Each structure stands twice: as structure tokens, then as C-alpha cells.
A and B are shown apart, each in its own frame.
Chain A
């Protein structure tokens, strides 16, 4: 692959993985803020209003960081991936454009109203602004994931020479691949936001600060995290996995380290893929489970990498390990949040300092799990930009050199380093300052 393409891939991977750190939190946090506002409106409990106000401040800096790092994504389609834009613009442009005019407009206009409007507009209107922000964030994710889903599994198009044409907007928006991919992404975001909310609550309880508000954080965070950890596994993760088997057998084979096609395929819990010898080293297998997960039948036939042409193999190790990191962490989240939810139900959670420590320390890991999930999705799609239609090597700009891209990549790295430090600094400051009683 030419250097310029490699450079463009590095730039895209770096900028999008950094960008995604922010929407992971805001999509879920928007919903949780709306939940806090709803409880406040219904019960009149001021603690939920205080909680909403606190998380709105975190939401604001996260949203700002997400917006400024998101703009380069839209630009890069044109700057570094001009041939992809020419080829797929008539289709992917639709969803990107809908994101802008339907979701992003709502989110950014209403966020101003929500952040600064408390006291200026009525209680009901303020609640409505919170719900609008949450809907905007979640809808934004929908259009972006719909764009990605089309690249994973192109539907509703007609090939016309050097580009594709869209045949049905409805088809594009109801892509069968999207049906489980989107709920899975949102579920991952909800887990992240819930565990951050619960984790900060746990920190306050451990530090014996703002305890009344912290209990609200922990209660809502733990219940939501337990629910969505389970939903990430089943049904969203399981059925999304079935879709991958159906539409992208190479990705599934790489995810599970299946080198040879077989019936009644076992699930590898651990094992290291050895691409030289085309086998999994030191595996621990659970018989028949992979066939069941992929097809709902313990003896079904699972396609292995040996039945897929070598030049269509994705980078196996990256996909395999990213997938196992995601699933392993997901399992831990289920265990941790189920235990916390159990103690909450028994009414002993706030006194169990060990459990609170675990909640606090688990906070960063949903980010790792979400990023790993996207690595599986994107690296697993290699060597395609649009699965089965357009290769990555044929997608990049012809008039942009590797040098230009590396130059700007380093520019982004420098800027994002500063941004990342500032973000963490401000996050820590808001946490240190604590919830505010008054708007």
C-alpha cells in the first residue's frame, strides 16, 4: 500500500479515536441528565436538579471537545479521502448531511438554552431543552452509525460507473447491519456515562463530600450501568455478532481466531493467534458455543480464514485482541454492576467502601471497551473502505502526499495533546468544586 494511504489511515485512526472519547460520554450522559431532570420534575426532589446541573457542566466541556474534534472528521473525507468522497458521496453524504441538519443543529442550539437558560425559562421548558439535547445527541449517533453501517454493508445503492447512486433513503436508514450495530453503540455509550456518573458518586462518598448528591449519582448510575451492561451483551451484542457472521465472515473469523472452517465451532476464551502457522496458540475452548452464537445452532458451520482469499484477510491479531478486550471488559462490567446493584437493592451499597472503590476504579475501562469495539468494526473491515465495493487503497486523495498528511497528523497530535490535558484538568476542577445548589 502506498505511503500516502498509510499516512491517511494513521491520521484518520488517530483523529477519530480521539474524537470518539467525547461522544461516548455525551450520548449517554445526555440521556442521564434528561433522566435526572425528569425525576426532579416529577418528584420535586432538588437533589436530582443539582445532579442534572452538575453533569450539565461536564456535558458542556465534553460536548465542546467533541465538536472541535468532530469538525476534522467531516473535513478529512474530502482532504484525505477524495476518491472515496467522489465514489460514495451521493450515498454517505445523505446521512452525514442529515446528522448536521436534524441532529447537530438541535443539540448545539438547545444546549445553549439548557446550560444558560435555567431560571430564564420555565421549569417545563428547561426540562424540554434537556430532553432535546439528549435526543439530539442520540440522533446524531444514529446518522453517524448509519453512515458507518453502509460502509460495512452497502445497501440501497446502484453502481454507476465511477460512483454509486442512492436508490432508497429508507433502505439506507434501515440497513439490516445498522439494526443491531446502533443499539450496541448506544448501549456502550450508556454503560460509559452510567459508570462515570456512578464512579464520581463513589469518589464523593469515599471522600465524604457532597454525600447527599453523590447517593443520587450512584443510585442512578449503578442501575443504568447494570441494565446497559447486560443489554450490551444481549441482545445488542449477540445479534450484532450474528449480523457480522452473515455479512462479513472474514471479520468474524478474525475476531474469533477461526483459522479453519468447521462445524460445531468452539468459542475461544483465551488463545493467541499465530498467523504464520494459521492457528490459535494455547487456546481454551468452550465446544459448540461459537456456532451457537453465530447461527443459533450448536453444530452450524462457521467459515474460517482458510476459506477466504488471503488478500481479503483483515489484520488478524489487531481484530482478535481488540474483540477479546471488548468482550472481557464487558464481562467485568456485568459482574461489577450486578454486584453493586445487588448491594443497592439490599440498601448496603453506600457503606461498602470496597465496592465503592471498585466502582470508582472501573470508570476508565468502558472507554477502552468502546474504542476496542470500534477497532474491531473498522480494522475488521479491511481491506475495504466500502465492504466489497471500494478498497482502502483506491479511496485516498491522489493530490495529497504522505508528507502533507504526516505534517498535519503531527499538528493534530500536538493540538489534541493540549486539548486532552485541558479537558482532564477542567473535568477534575468541576469534580473538585462539586455540585452547586443554585443555578
Chain B
């Protein structure tokens, strides 16, 4: 495998880890106002992500960092091109972080309710925007012949990308409900399981709709799959994980259900990456798409960064395991 391809895999991997990890706390945020009936219940839900959300979000920064170092042209083109959309994402990330960290600082109903709403709305909107972004990457965006984005914010809000956004919200909400079922007990746990089984069907139907629509907006998408049938492993794994998720929720196997929803997210993102390769950002018009060659940094930069990344990944895995081990089991009150 060439260095450029290896970086494509690493970028996809980093984004998938981000989607799985920050995905459950975003999803939890999106549903926590409904899931938690009382202020105390909502507090317990936030307690389940309190010690880990920050570490989860670092994966987004790591993905950004790996874009700067490995695909500087992709980074420059997409970040300047999606200017307003990204600023919106930034402000939402800002508000959401404040919602989690500042909520428990003052014990007053108004204060807590206000931050709960901020946390819920910003989480849901972020889930939506991430889905919109991914769908736009699938569909292609207006690029000129130097790979610079020439479009406006509203171009990004097309029916296909909005459908992708809704799929993202429902998928992450399902993922978040599975997390809540795993980390809580009593009434809250029962309600989380009920939420998960309620969200399952719409998520599955939305996925089918997005797959069908993909063939319309991007007819060549299946090309990689027909050329290399081994790639069908990704969509098949996603389908199997989704099915296993359903069964596990019904059987009250919370851990298995959460692992399945994680695997499902990985499978879907893996399928998207497999379909796109070697393109990073397709052009919707006649412009030049950005791919792993014309967007990449020079070879020795890729090589050095690869060593750094693999070393970093090894260390990060140790932290991750250690941190999640400290917090395993049902959530206690962490903020007090």
C-alpha cells in the first residue's frame, strides 16, 4: 500500500473512531431531555459522559491535525470552502462543551435547565451537521479546476445532504441510547432500552433511503465495490451489526447492543470510505476533485507524520483503555 493510501485509511479510521466515541455523547445529548424525566435523571445521564467526552472530542482535533499534515490541500480547500458551516460547527462545539462543564457548577434549577437545553440542542445540531457534511462529501461539492470550493453555504443544504443529516441524528441517538442503557440502571435504563428499540426502525429505513439516493446523486459510487468485491465486507458488516443491535436490544444485552451500534457506525463509514477511495473530496461539476495524490503533502512529510501517528496511536490506546476502565460499570455521581 502506498503512503498516500495508508494516510487515506488513517484519516478514515480517525474519523470513524471520532464518530463512535463522540457519537455516543452527541447522541446522548440529542435525546437526554426526553430520556431523563427529572433534573436528577438528566444529571445522571450527563454524569455518564462527564469524564470521557473531552477525550472523545480530541479525535476530531486529531482528524483535523492529520488533514493539515497529510492532505494540506484538502484541509485548505474544505475549511475555507465550508467557511460558514464550519464556523457553525465550531460555535456549537463551544456551546456544547460549556453546557457539559458549566451545568454542574451552580445548583439552581434555572441554571441547570438552561444548560440542559443548550447541551441538547447543540448536540442534536452537531449530529445533523456532521451527517450533512458526510453526505456532501459523498455527493460532491462545487470545486474549481484548482480544487478550491466555489459555492455557498446553501449549496451544502440540498435534499440528499439533509437526508444524510437526519440519518446521522437518528443513528447517533440510537448509539447514545445504547450507551445510556449500558451505563444507567432502574427506570432510566428501561427507558433507554425502549428508546433504542424505538429508534432502530427509523434508523434502518433512513439508511436504506440514503443508500438508494446515493445511486441517484453519485451513480459511479459502486465502482470500487464491483471492481474489488472484498470491499463488500464493510456494508455486510454494517448490516450484520445493525441486525445484531436489534436482537441485543430486545434481549436486554446492553453491552452487546452498544458494541453492535459502534460496529454499525464503523461499517457505514468504512463503506463510504471504500466507495470514495482514492477521492477525498469529489467535485459535483466539472472541477478537479481532490484525491490522495493532488491533495497530499510531500512524501517525507507523510513518512515522518506516519511514524508520529502510529506512536501516538499506541499511547492513546493505552489511555483510552485505562480511562474507560476507571469509569466502567454504572455511572455514579461524578460531579459534586
Indicate if the CB atoms of A98 and B312 lie closer than 8 Å: yes
A/B pair count, beta carbons within 8 Å: 213
In contact, B322 and A166 (Cβ under 8 angstroms)? no
CA distance A68 to B102 in the complex (A): 12
Instruction: Closest A residue to B62 by CB, please name it.
Output: A100
**Closest Cβ–Cβ distance, residue B36 to chain A (whole Å):** 20
Q: List the A side residues contacting B70 at CB < 8 Å.
A: 93
Instruction: Give every chain A residue within 8 A of B312 (Cβ-Cβ).
Output: 98, 100-102, 105
CB within 8 Å of A: which residues of B?
Answer: 50-52, 54-55, 57-58, 61-62, 64-70, 72-73, 75-81, 83-84, 86-87, 90-91, 93-95, 97-98, 101-102, 105-106, 148-150, 297-298, 300-301, 304-305, 308-309, 311-313, 315-316, 319-320, 322-323, 326-327, 334-335
Q: Is A93 touching B65 in the complex (CB atoms < 8 A)?
A: yes
Interface residues of A in 75-90 (CB under 8 A from B): 75, 77-80, 82-83, 85-86, 89-90
Chain B neighbourhood of A110, CB < 8 A: 319, 323
Query: Could you pull out 22 A-B pairs where Cβ atoms are within 8 angstroms?
Result: A64-B101, A71-B93, A78-B76, A79-B79, A79-B80, A85-B72, A89-B72, A89-B297, A93-B72, A97-B309, A101-B308, A109-B320, A109-B322, A111-B54, A116-B50, A116-B335, A165-B301, A166-B304, A169-B304, A399-B150, A411-B91, A419-B94
**Given A166-B300, A399-B80, 4 other A-B residues pairs in contact with their CB atoms under 8 A:** A67-B57, A72-B90, A97-B309, A104-B61
Which of A61, A105, A400 is B80 in contact with, Cβ under 8 Å? A400
Chain A residues within 8 Å of chain B by Cβ, number: 63
Given contacts A91-B301, A105-B319, A112-B55, contact A100 B97 (CB under 8 A): no
Residues of A contacting B57 in the complex (Cβ-Cβ under 8 angstroms): 67, 108
Q: Mark A391-427, 1 if CB is under 8 A from B, else 0.
A: 0000001111000100010010001000100100010
Q: Is the interface of B mostly helix, strand, loop or mixed?
A: helix
Contact A79 B50, beta carbon cutoff 8 Å: no
Q: Within the complex, what minimum Cβ distance (angstroms) separates B88 from chain A?
A: 9
- The chain A residue sitting closest to B320, CB to CB, is A109
Let me know if B86 and A94 touch, CB within 8 A.
no
Least CB separation from B68: chain A residue: A93
- CB A406 to nearest CB in B, in angstroms, measures 12
Known: A85-B72, A105-B312. A97 touches B65 (CB 8 A): yes
When distances are taken between beta carbons in the complex, the residues of chain B under 8 Å from A79 are 79-80, 83, 86-87
Give me the 10 closest cross-chain CB pairs, A-B, nearest first: A78-B79, A89-B72, A101-B312, A93-B69, A112-B51, A93-B68, A97-B65, A82-B76, A397-B80, A90-B301
Across the two chains, which residue of chain B brings its CB closest to A396?
B80
* Structural contact, A121 and B326, CB atoms closer than 8 A: yes
What residue in chain A is nearest B310 (Cβ atoms)?
Answer: A101
**Taking each of A61, A64, A86, which has the highest tally of chain B beta carbons within 10 Å of its own beta carbon?**
A86
Task: Say yes or no: A93 contacts B297, CB within 8 Å.
Answer: yes
Q: Give the residues in chain A near B81, CB-CB below 8 Å.
A: 399
- Chain A nearest CB from B120 CB (Å) reads 17
Q: What are the residues of chain B within 8 A of A64 when measuring CB–CB?
A: 54, 97-98, 101-102
Given contacts A101-B316, A112-B323, A429-B105, contact A75 B90 (CB under 8 A): yes
Smallest CB-CB separation from A78: which chain B residue?
Answer: B79
- Complex interface residues of chain A between 383 and 397 (CB less than 8 A to chain B): 397
A300 at the interface (CB under 8 A from B): no
Which of chain B's residues have a CB closer than 8 A to the CB of A86? 72-73, 76
